[in-house]
Amino acid sequence: MPQLTSNRPPTIAEAFFRTGFGCVSAIVFKIAVVVIVILVLDWRSQEKKARQEAERTATSETASRLADEIAKDTDPNGRFVRKPVGSLSEADAWGRALRLDYQPGTLSDGLEVRSAGPDGEWNTRDDVVVTRSSKISNKALVRDAAGGLFDAAKTKLWGKNPPDTEKK
């Protein structure tokens, strides 16, 4: 049986139920898509941060282990026994070689094991740096100070080149 159609305009309720849910469902769908995109981006960002932190931690542990191995060897004066400065055999989490450097001081001797970090550039903010220091013995400090005074006195008395050190 065919349905009777009237020529009257639909009421507000009829119009809403015919077309309103279509508009509302489209808006709800768009909002849901935006929320899902935001959640996925946030999840990926958190995952990336966690991965970077794990890489930094692994590199720091490797550098600490190497620094401890190198720092074990000290001479009787308390200074580190020098190993070749530069690239080490071990690599960081990004596949680049770690680097060894020494930082001698007046009262202590220092060593530094450094990774270039994720950007691969040396001496930037993202570098992973592990340092160790060794206290120089008091005997060595006194001997160095006395030697420095002796050298200064020789220079003052005989000028730039003392007679016993002149080249012949």
Q: pLDDT of 30-48, one tens digit each?
A: 999 999 999 999 999 999 9
Domain ranges across the chain = 49-159
Identity of the residue numbered 114: R
- The stretch 108-129 carries a mean pLDDT of 92
The answer to whether residue 143 scores a pLDDT higher than 80 is: no
Choice among 76-80, 132-136, 149-153, 160-164 with the minimum mean pLDDT: 160-164
The answer to whether residue 118 scores a pLDDT higher than 70 is: yes
Question: Which residues are bridge partners to 121 per DSSP?
Answer: none
Residue 54: its pLDDT value, please? Answer: 94
Residue 22: its pLDDT value, please? Answer: 67
Identity of the residue numbered 163: P
**What mean pLDDT, rounded, does the chain reach?**
83
Note if the pTM is more than 0.85.
no
Confidence of residue 150 (pLDDT cuts 50, 70, 90): low
Angle (CA) 74 79 83, round 5°: 65
**Residue-wise DSSP of the chain:** -PPP---SPPPHHHHIIIIIHHHHHHHHHHHHHHHHHHHHHHHHHHHHHHHHHHHHHHHHHHHHHHHHHHHT-B-TTSPBPP---EEEEEE-TTSPEEEEEEEE-SSEEEEEEEE-TTTT-TTSTT-EEEEEEEEPPHHHHHHHHHHHHHHHHHHHHH-SS-GGG---
Residue 33: its pLDDT value, please? Answer: 93
Nearest to 64 by CA among 102, 116, 103, 111: 111
- The stretch 119-127 carries a mean pLDDT of 92
Q: pLDDT of 57-107, one tens digit each?
A: 999 999 999 999 999 988 888 788 999 999 999 999 999 999 999 998 777
> CB of 55 within 8 A of CB of 94?
yes
The answer to whether residue 1 scores a pLDDT higher than 60 is: no
CA-CA distance, 129 to 121, in Å (whole number)?
13
Residue 134: its pLDDT value, please? Answer: 85
Residue 162: its pLDDT value, please? Answer: 55
